[in-house]
Structure 1
Amino acid sequence: MPTLTLNLRYLFSLVGRELSDSELSELLEKSKMSLERIEGDEIEVEVTTDRLDLLSEEGIARHFKGLLGIEEGIPKYEVFQSDVEGIVEESVMSVRPGFALGIVLGVHLGEEGLLSLMHLQEKIHQTWGRERRKVSIGVHDFDKLEPPITYAGERPEDIRFVPLGESEIMNAREIINRHEKGIAYGHIIADKPLFPVLRDRRGEVLSLPPIINSEMTRVTSETRNLLIDVTGTSQREVEQALIVVATALAEKGGKIGTVKLKGAKGELVTPDLTPKVMSLEAEYFRAKTGLNLSPQEIANLLRKSRLDAVAKQEVVEASIPPYRVDFLHPIDLVEEAL
């Protein structure tokens, strides 16, 4: 299971108040996280592998606010349809076909938020992304690029840009042979005749996924407007990772913009923030738990876990936030309410 090091001061600022040691321990237990270490302003916690939404301080604070009764039900994010388009070329479909884009505008990152974002990316890469083979994420300063964004497969010698953290132009083959990230992850694409690449309207390279972004779109603590790209082998998992990152940024005041993708994948709009709906029979809940709770009491418990829930006679209709990937069966609703 992934282990996270959290900044307590930052976490408390997101929750809106400080938490005592006993409160913190109780909230972690209710969230099915285990406390591994606490030292000064830092704690180390272990998170279950299916809770991508708890891989950042923003996601943990969002969940804690529900358990504390500060905010209940599905978070209400400001979402708009942007005029940004993504073009997917046929040349990339045999290389790395999963692709999704989203934008988040008006984010207040700061140093702590930037660090949290970087850690979230890497934890998703390590877990859900299987060390970037299955999913990889790029985050860019939206103000430094010009849409539309094209995702294509190109000869590695034709992909030339300054990689993040460098000062000289390199081609993609040089990057996988010489750059730190290329040496670590280049094997994922090294045997392909074409490498995946993202370019903007001007032809400027934004990213060589799943290896490295361009220095041109570097994100800093002052960056306010962000483009998120996610690539991988599975479209469903790529889109899920995008939702997790975009909604974490929305917790920092960002407005989420959807992007229309067209081309080799047909037409698709990402991220799709439609909640999943699932029903839970009250009698099923009682049989599994031994607790004689009414449908309304069950619904109230689910709302504290940041789900929307409505009692209808002996059935609870639950709407599950799109950033939760761990609901497959009504038993998951039962466990969530406990």
Structure 2
Amino acid sequence: MPKIEVNEKLFFNLLGTKYDWDTFEKKLTFAKAELDEKPDESALENERVIKIELNDTNRPDLWSAGGVARCLREHEGKGHSDYSKFMSEEGKLKDTGNRLAVVDPALKHIRPFMVSFVISGKPIDNAMLIDIMQTQEKLAWNFGRKRKTISMGVYRAANLKWPVHFVAADPDKVSFVPLQGEEKQTCREILQNHPKGKEYGWILKDFEKYPVLQDDSGEIMSMSPIINSATLGQIEVGDKDLMVELTGVDMKDLMLAANIVACDFADAGYEILPVKVHHEYDTGFGNDVVIPYYFQQTAKARLSAINKKLGSSLSEDEVKDALVRMGSKVDILNENGETVFVVHPAPYRNDFLHEVDVIEDVMIGKGLDFFKPEKPNDFTIGRLLPITVYSRKVKNIMAGIGYQEMIFNYLGSKKTYIDNMGIDGKNVIEIANPMSENYQFIRPSIIASLFEAEAQSGNAVYPHKIFEVGKIAFIDESENTGTKTIQSLGFLTASNNANFNEAASEVSTILYYLDHKYEVQETNDPRFIPGRQAGIMVNGKQAGIFGEIHPQILENWQVGVPCVAGEIDLEYLMATEPKEHTQNIQPKEEHKPESSAPKIDPVEYFNKHIELKVAKILSVETNPQGDKLYIEHLDDGSGTERIIQSGLRPYLKEEELLGKHVIIAANLAPRKMKGVESRGMLLASDYMEDGVEKVELLTAPWAAPGTQVVLEGFEPFEKPAKIDIDKFCKVEYKIVNKMAQAAGKNLVAAGKPIVMEKTVNADIE
């Protein structure tokens, strides 16, 4: 969040009063801010600095001493300067005299827009100069995305000759002395040698010409957005008339930033003189724009919605007063018998996107202390959503087949979600008023997020296997909102031998454990290689996609090894899951009688269905397709060698497994993992040792291979030949005080209980 430093004397002069620090901290909540650090009382009065942390990136008007002071002043009902004196609006443009700026048409595809105004009336003092520079940097860095979309310059207006010209200059022919420089340098040399050129040169380096601001005599004012000149662009304490200009790529953002700065100066007692800026092309506000300019759209909120959201019973007058205290002008209308507030935002704000934004202003304007805490009247029982339970199941499956879970932001840039992924972007949702281009779009696919991680992982040992379960959203005209949000699984494998067959094997394993039958269908997705991709068809509908990533996509991300990836719609899978499984993840309905179906007796269920046996590990090898998988060859007493795969490679060495008499789940249905059929599962538990997770196998060294493991006090029962994993998991398996248990009973092999050496209390997995 932005932090600002304000001169104590300047701030309280702008505020018009001085609070004690406790009161000041409380008042700052009206600006969604908090006191970060009090000033050093031992410092001279003119040098004391207050540090304030702002908690709202949607209010760039608060990123200055003037902005915070204005917010607190308005909340106290003291108002602000008369901005209408200098603020143009549609059909009512202010006189600009000879103050004119002309934009070179050649800048249309470089840095197309410019706005400007002049401040006059009194000399700049040191505190105000520092605040100007801070405002300049905060707006350009945060709101202007590190100067890429907005930059600001301030110049000595008394020394320049109007009109000024914003031109596309040859970087090798135009030269000037930059701030903090002593000799003339060409624009290209400044980018290469000057500290600011090195820091921000990336914005211009790919253009043949650079944007330069100069007055009518040809005197260079600045190279935007890099550095001012050391002549007209160097302001000092005592300067009286200053020209402020902002250049960038979004006219509305530039106009908002200009309004913010102009209002700050007006509140500090300066006169604001408008400037007309001429563009040969349309700016969205015409070719000629007179700045400052009021462009804000009105916002509406219903009285009923306000009181419902806030849990209040505010009157019309109370709501209007609260909104006025937030700097807005308000009209009250009656629409279809309902009271509606029409809010005209202040010229320094453009953050009203929805009715709830108006309601938030009512809440802040009224004061948080007005709303008394109330205990909930409704009795509810908290529980996980079904999709959350289902997602956890999927995460466990992915971890079990060797994938590492990742977590990413849901917002990103056009480059991340569209350009690098080679898609047209027509169904990608764009944020209407983003504060940064890095968070301008909502992700339409998890695969792009996975590539963000993979692009940074070139030095890690291959293979890389990563996944995420999370939300994606995209435009869908069939939905009431025009968009659709779903829970999705995305996975990616990067290795030298990554191929379509490997991805198909992963999909087969995932859907096997989710108990879904599926088919594949040819697809034509630009992210994947043609002919090496497939849609996942479940019940006749495409529920996902997988395949080999196209070389162009790999090049876009600068990933140097082949990759396979896939994505599956988990909400659709859950909705089409077999009924017996769906019932397991649905929350219970409130106030419904319990089912009359008999409850399962876990002991009886174990004795009838679960077959555990002792087996001896004869040999161990690694699965070349799975970085966590061992292939164990076992003697289970049947006379036929049994193969089981386990994810024990990160925890146990091969020699730690050889010869062990382990406990296995013997009648689990076979499943293919990484090209090898696995018949059963080794039982183990985990424990912590010196802060490191360890794994301990359940063993019975005294028992011969094939010995059946039973519950204490029971004889062996005949069991079905095959059961699925869901049936196996209907019984709890735990370590309790080092004793291995199932269904709450100790496990026994050949008359002796199975006792752990290291694990005290844990789940058996």
Q: Say whether residues 1:15 and 2:15 are aligned partners.
A: yes
Aligned to 1:283: 304
Aligned to 1:269: 290
Distance 2:139 2:209 in 1: 25
Aligned to 2:70: 62
Deviations 1:235-286 (A, max 9, x none): 2212221111122111222222222222423322222135542222211111
User: Residues 108 and 253 of structure 1 are in contact (CA less than 8 Å); yes or no, is this contact kept in structure 2?
Assistant: no
Aligned to 1:229: 245
Distance 2:119 2:84 in 1: 11
User: Residues 77 and 255 of structure 1 are in contact (CA less than 8 Å); yes or no, is this contact kept in structure 2?
Assistant: no
Mark the CA change 1:8 to 1:138 in structure 2 (over 3 Å): closer, same or farther: same
Distance 2:12 2:152 in 1: 27
Aligned to 1:111: 126
Mark the CA change 1:202 to 1:215 in structure 2 (over 3 Å): closer, same or farther: same
Q: Which moved more, 1:164-173 or 1:24-33?
A: 164-173
Which residue identity lines up with residue 81 of structure 1 in the other structure? D
Q: Which moved more, 1:106-115 or 1:192-201?
A: 106-115
Which residue identity lines up with residue 219 of structure 2 in the other structure? E
User: Residues 247 and 323 of structure 1 are in contact (CA less than 8 Å); yes or no, is this contact kept in structure 2?
Assistant: yes
User: Residues 169 and 211 of structure 2 are in contact (CA less than 8 Å); yes or no, is this contact kept in structure 1?
Assistant: yes
User: In the TM superposition, what are the counterparts of 1:236-251 in structure 2 within 5 Å?
Assistant: 236-251=252-267
What secondary structure, in the 3-state scheme, does the structure 1 residue paired with 2:134 have? Answer: helix
Distance 2:75 2:278 in 1: 41
Q: CA deviation at 1:312?
A: 4.0
Distance 1:128 1:243 in 2: 14
Distance 2:266 2:95 in 1: 15
Q: Say whether residues 1:49 and 2:63 are aligned partners.
A: no
Q: CA deviation at 1:108?
A: 4.4
Q: CA deviation at 1:195?
A: 0.3
Q: CA deviation at 1:196?
A: 0.4
Aligned to 2:175: 160
1:182 to 186, 191, 197: 197
User: Residues 276 and 322 of structure 1 are in contact (CA less than 8 Å); yes or no, is this contact kept in structure 2?
Assistant: no
Deviations 1:93-122 (A, max 9, x none): 121112212222224431101100100111
Aligned to 1:334: 359
Q: CA deviation at 1:45?
A: 2.0
What secondary structure, in the 3-state scheme, does the structure 2 residue paired with 1:215 have? Answer: coil
Q: Which moved more, 1:279-288 or 1:255-264?
A: 255-264
Uncovered stretches (5+) of structure 2, i.e. residues with no partner? 41-47, 87-93, 282-286, 364-765
RCO (CA 8 Å, sep 6+): is it higher in 1 or 2? 1
- The structure 1 segments of at least 4 consecutive aligned residues displaced by more than 6 Å after TM superposition are none
What secondary structure, in the 3-state scheme, does the structure 2 residue paired with 1:231 have? Answer: strand
Distance 1:75 1:283 in 2: 32
Mark the CA change 1:207 to 1:90 in structure 2 (over 3 Å): closer, same or farther: same
Aligned to 1:192: 207
1:71 to 39, 64, 79: 79
Mark the CA change 1:77 to 1:132 in structure 2 (over 3 Å): closer, same or farther: same
Distance 1:239 1:304 in 2: 23
User: Residues 296 and 311 of structure 1 are in contact (CA less than 8 Å); yes or no, is this contact kept in structure 2?
Assistant: no
Q: Say whether residues 1:81 and 2:95 are aligned partners.
A: yes
Aligned to 2:272: 256
User: In the TM superposition, what are the counterparts of 1:290-305 in structure 2 within 5 Å?
Assistant: 290-305=311-326
Deviations 1:126-166 (A, max 9, x none): 10111111111001111110111111111112221111222
Q: Say whether residues 1:316 and 2:330 are aligned partners.
A: no
Which structure is larger by alpha-carbon Rg, 1 or 2?
A: 2
Q: What RMSD, in angstroms, separates the aligned Cα atoms of the two structures?
A: 1.8
Tell me the TM-score normalized by structure 2. Answer: 0.43
Distance 1:65 1:105 in 2: 23
User: Residues 103 and 113 of structure 2 are in contact (CA less than 8 Å); yes or no, is this contact kept in structure 1?
Assistant: no
Q: Say whether residues 1:147 and 2:155 are aligned partners.
A: no
More helix by share: 1
User: Residues 141 and 225 of structure 1 are in contact (CA less than 8 Å); yes or no, is this contact kept in structure 2?
Assistant: yes
Distance 2:220 2:209 in 1: 15
Distance 1:2 1:189 in 2: 26
Which residue identity lines up with residue 58 of structure 1 in the other structure? G
What secondary structure, in the 3-state scheme, does the structure 1 residue paired with 2:274 have? Answer: strand
Distance 1:244 1:87 in 2: 23
Aligned to 1:3: 3
Which residue identity lines up with residue 319 of structure 1 in the other structure? H
Count of matched residue pairs: 337
Distance 2:289 2:7 in 1: 37
What secondary structure, in the 3-state scheme, does the structure 1 residue paired with 2:71 have? Answer: helix
Which residue identity lines up with residue 132 of structure 1 in the other structure? R
Which residue identity lines up with residue 188 of structure 1 in the other structure? I
Aligned to 1:35: 35
Deviations 1:5-30 (A, max 9, x none): 22222211111111112221111112
What secondary structure, in the 3-state scheme, does the structure 1 residue paired with 2:143 have? Answer: coil
Q: Which moved more, 1:270-279 or 1:123-132?
A: 270-279
What secondary structure, in the 3-state scheme, does the structure 2 residue paired with 1:81 have? Answer: coil
Q: CA deviation at 1:322?
A: 1.3
User: Residues 177 and 185 of structure 2 are in contact (CA less than 8 Å); yes or no, is this contact kept in structure 1?
Assistant: yes
Q: CA deviation at 1:75?
A: 4.8
User: Residues 83 and 266 of structure 2 are in contact (CA less than 8 Å); yes or no, is this contact kept in structure 1?
Assistant: no
Q: Which moved more, 1:97-106 or 1:185-194?
A: 97-106
